[in-house]
Structure 1
């Protein structure tokens, strides 16, 4: 295992100690920092997997307090009060912090909303990437982010939650982190497959999944990886909720509304052929239901522009055919023959001979329509 002296948190801690001793001669600062620096690195190594900036501060105190103790032990006068004042948060630190918050929220929104959240997530991703560049170019910046009032308030809230009734649940969830790292990488990978299938987006999602898998364990020791790990976790959580929500409502809908309750929709075939009792095909017939309503269906025939639409209840429809040049033509007639089964004659009844209470009058277009060419309604 490599030494922790290269970690950003250790370097930031030592830099703040040197600032607190800046009023001493350079020779004295070098002597103190040589001894103190080795001790800080040793303590960081002892922390092992539990190492973090907070754990280091708990063991040694803040860099300013530790520097003040070393100063007193060496017999030097107290430093000026300005050395004990922690550095004020800078704009870059606050920009990085809120970029992380916005990036996490936008990633969750994109995961739960699919394509609808992509434009906003892409815009916020620009600021997140910008923050990552700043954090890698300015090493003290990660420490300044940790000193922000927003960050301190968030840490205090998390510590309070761990000490409350949900403390055991939080500890248990933390023990599942390795499994969650694998799960979120899988969710990120399949999100690209759902959006576009196997293509550029899917390959890009595979790269993001690998980066998310790498960022999980590294974020515990290098806080700069949080700008990758937290948005990745939020996107995976949103994707999981999207998948669950797309399955459960459909199931509930099918269970709550059985098909027996839904009224049957009357449908008419696209074409109808009518024959008399001798098997002779009838043409130019008009179909109606028991209420006298025409049984209409749509028909696309040949017109001057190659396609003509009409919707009426005149049957049968001609067959529409196209030749090798794409010219449209309508073919009339019946393409098949039928054999009418012989049945006994129906006995006349009073109801059959009585005058019906209502009659159906075909539309005027029926008598005016030519017998062979279909007309538009």
Structure 2
């Protein structure tokens, strides 16, 4: 494939467009001999210019770097980012100066410098707790442990404390990536500390309780048996609360066949299963039998007279009955005998 003049002209036009941000004189200087150079390249072999020299934009970047010309678009972006950072830092400095007087110092940063030793100690503790979580699988308390051992955890805490103090006193001299690494590790420890505080708050709000204290003590009641003062089972009993509402406990698991209380279970009396009464004597199921009276017995057999009968007098041969008075008075009659009608006449 032979490179045509039209392809060379289009390539030159795209290179000049990529260098449009440069001054016209510099742009003309860089692209003055470009057509002749492209013609020589095309004559050296087969293939398109893009395949042999790269895109026109990449070729223009090489011309720019060779001439030492800056990229205005990139410079404008860098200036824009630098302006944003500078503005943010300026606002922070203003805020720093405003926070100082309430704390009794010229600026808030002067007060924070006094707290740096405390931060060194806290940083060592947070690092030890982070190692504790990694080595124990997530279970931890308020003291660090290494592999679950408290003594090893305390030794680790002392080592981290000495290292944190040493690093804190030399942090001002750190530059480049070392300083950024220190800030990144401190940020990780701060996030870890906040997560630990949230977990501690959640644990503090949890109060263990006895399951028996919250469960209904009548959940396991299956039936209710009512006894009177003489220990007899009361059947067909119903229970009500102080408002007249029926109290329902248990479940009639002994009911078989057609249940007459299925339509309105509130009418079901206690007990559901009388034959399962826990205490004796138990009343028989159904109507109570008639009371049985003791049999009659003679005085000789029982040794005592029955209170419901009068003992019959024993008959003697001399007198079997009381004599009735007659109209004729006998010599042995008493003067108080009642006169007969014939005597008074």
Greater relative contact order: 1 or 2 (C-alpha under 8 angstroms, separation 6 or more)? 1
In terms of fraction of residues, the more strand-rich structure is 1
Q: Larger Rg: 1 or 2?
A: 2
Same fold (TM over 0.5): no
TM-score by length of 1: 0.29
TM (norm. structure 2) is: 0.31
Flag the structure with higher helix content.
Answer: 1
